[in-house]
Amino acid sequence: MIAIIDYGMGNLHSVGKAVERLGAEALVTSSPEEILAADGAILPGVGAFGDAMANLRETGLESVVKEYAASGKPLLGICLGMQLLFDESEEHGTHTGLGLLPGKVVRFQGDYKVPHMGWNELVFTQESPLFSGLNPGHVYFVHSYHALPERKEDLLATTDYYQPVTAIVGRGSVYGMQFHPEKSGELGMALLNNFVKLVANKASNL
Amino acid sequence: MLAKRIIPCLDVKDGRVVKGVNFVNLRDAGDPVELAAIYDKEGADELVFLDISASVEGRATMIEVVRRTAGEITIPFTVGGGISSTDDMKRLLRAGADKIGINTAAIRNPDLIGEGSKIFGAQCIVVAIDAKFNSEWGEWEVFTHGGRNPTGIRALEWAKDAERRGAGELLLTSMDADGTKDGFDLELTAAVSGSVGIPVIASGGAGHAEHFVDVFAQGKADAGLAASIFHYKEVSVREVKDALRAQGVNVR
């Protein structure tokens, strides 16, 4: 069972459907008990960083996500959900994040179009179980802010948008994808499938 | 580098695709979900559903189409047509749409752009602009109601205003080029794309694959949209991408 954490932000339906299409059970939930009991958890998110953290606090889910991450069961943040894993973001003022990964989230700055919207090619910067059996290709991004991980070893893949942009991060069992794997064709589904497998492996080893 | 996007557009009325659809291996030519899945497999980068239902029942049916589509396809899709409130947006986004297109309602109530952007994020607010050259002005004018009503608003000004108000993307249709199959309106597209800092989807006039090469190279578009040439199989999404690749345009 994979919990899709519902804290009032984002398109939960698509993520849940995608997980189900991969043959895993998905449960869209805001219940701390259900989240903590799940074998894997996905933190989705569309919208503003500050609103998202405010929602996580109001619903009491901030501590639940942190507790979940500490349990060592796989957690995947998607899009804004990935950004929330970091220490802080400068989106509409400085906001504190979940602090599961050291680093911050900053706005794209330059003479180019923002949001970074559309299909861009991944570059795998190190090995990861998420990449098992896969070759890098295009995935679908849409974001105006991007994450700057403090530790190079947390960065698993980048893409190029006038600079190397953080695309996939991971440390221990905490993962994040800046793009939308559920909207990224075959490669997106394959990456999500590797996460689902990771969850299954972990669950059978516990 | 960011790839240029190819976007088929489906007109949907009362839950069925209208306008020509000429697909082999399609059990039911009128089912938008089935057609969406085929375009996904063919390599389309995104889809646009334009709801042209005139009734409340037709719009309710669209929600069901959106829900089924979201469960079938693995690429983003936009829904436009008849959306005039943030409640309308919320219903479609909850059902699984990724972006919302607004056109006439945004002209009537420009605050709708900012309201939608604030609640759901700029990335899902697409402002659709139907523009036609006004020879008296020497520039393009915005039309509404599917191109029937002139507004007296200059397209370039409106594009900039929409961006300022929080639009995440513009869907720009040239009424002069639409239906001609002579190619996109490169001048209009380049003028709008050069005036804003958000992505521009060019629409209207695509007749063959080379037209997409032009709209990216000269029109400075970020995406190209077409309807009938894809539906009638005059050219496939694959062929367009091959042509673009051959010309050095970055595609998925």
pLDDT-above-90 percentage for chain B:
80
**Over 70: is that where the pLDDT of A19 sits?**
yes
Q: pLDDT-derived band of residue B92, with 50, 70 and 90 as boundaries?
A: very high
Sign of CA dihedral A6, A10, A13, A19: negative
Question: Closest by alpha carbon to B201, among A160, A137, A118, A162?
Answer: A118
b/e map of A55-64 (b: 16 or more CB within 10 Å)? Answer: bbeeeebbeb
Match 């436009």 to its residue by tokens: B80
Residue type, A134: L
- The arithmetic mean of pLDDT across residues A65-73, rounded, is 97
**Sheet hosting strand A145-149, strand order edge to edge:** A95-96, A86-89, A101-107, A145-149
Q: pLDDT-derived band of residue A181, with 50, 70 and 90 as boundaries?
A: very high
**Residue B22: predicted pLDDT:** 64
Match 């190397």 to its residue by tokens: A164
The CATH class given to the A2-205 domain equals: alpha beta
Domains and CATH numbers, chain B: 5-247 (3.20.20.70)
Winning range, highest mean pLDDT, from A46-55, A135-144, B48-57: A135-144
CB of B127 within 8 A of CB of B113? yes
* ipTM (interface predicted TM): 0.89
Is it true that the peptide bond before A115 is cis, omega within 30 degrees of 0?
A: yes
- The arithmetic mean of pLDDT across residues B112-124, rounded, is 91
Tokens of A148: 């700057």
Query: What are the percentages of helix, strand and coil residues in chain A, rounded to 5?
Result: 35, 35, 35
Count CB-CB contacts under 10 A for residue B117. 19
CA B67, CA B202: separation in Å to the nearest integer? Answer: 27
Q: pLDDT-derived band of residue B18, with 50, 70 and 90 as boundaries?
A: confident
**Residue B1: predicted pLDDT:** 86
- The arithmetic mean of pLDDT across residues B56-70, rounded, is 90
Q: B22 CB near a chain A CB, below 8 Å?
A: no
Residue type, A197: K
Q: B249 CB near a chain A CB, below 8 Å?
A: no
**Residue A29: predicted pLDDT:** 95
**Over 70: is that where the pLDDT of B26 sits?**
no
Q: pLDDT-derived band of residue B25, with 50, 70 and 90 as boundaries?
A: low
- The arithmetic mean of pLDDT across residues B12-37, rounded, is 80
Predicted confidence (pLDDT) per residue in B180-222, tens digit? 999 999 999 999 999 999 999 999 999 999 999 999 999 999 9
CA A140, CA A142: separation in Å to the nearest integer? Answer: 7
Residue type, B205: G
The length of chain B in residues reads 252
pTM for the predicted model, two decimal places: 0.93
Question: Closest by alpha carbon to B7, among B155, B173, B197, B196?
Answer: B173
CB of B184 within 8 A of CB of B214? yes
**Residue A108: predicted pLDDT:** 95
Q: pLDDT-derived band of residue B20, with 50, 70 and 90 as boundaries?
A: low
Q: pLDDT-derived band of residue A92, with 50, 70 and 90 as boundaries?
A: confident
Residue type, B58: G
Does the distance separating the beta carbons of A115 and B198 come in below 8 Å?
yes
The alpha-carbon gap from A41 to the nearest alpha carbon of chain B, in Å, equals 20
CA distances to B122, B140, B193 from B152, in Å: 26, 10, 21
Q: What is the mean pLDDT of chain B?
A: 93
**Residue A121: predicted pLDDT:** 97
Cβ contacts of A180 on chain B, cutoff 8 Å: 76
Predicted confidence (pLDDT) per residue in A105-131, tens digit? 999 999 999 999 999 999 999 999 999
- If one compares B145 and A155, the residue with the highest pLDDT of the two is A155
Residues of A with CB under 8 A from a CB of B: 11, 13-14, 17-18, 21, 46-48, 113-121, 137-138, 140, 142-144, 160-161, 180, 182-186, 188-189
DSSP A34-58: HHHHSSEEEE---S-HHHHHHHHHH
- The arithmetic mean of pLDDT across residues B140-164, rounded, is 95
Q: pLDDT-derived band of residue B228, with 50, 70 and 90 as boundaries?
A: confident
Q: What is the mean pLDDT of chain A?
A: 95
Q: B147 CB near a chain A CB, below 8 Å?
A: no
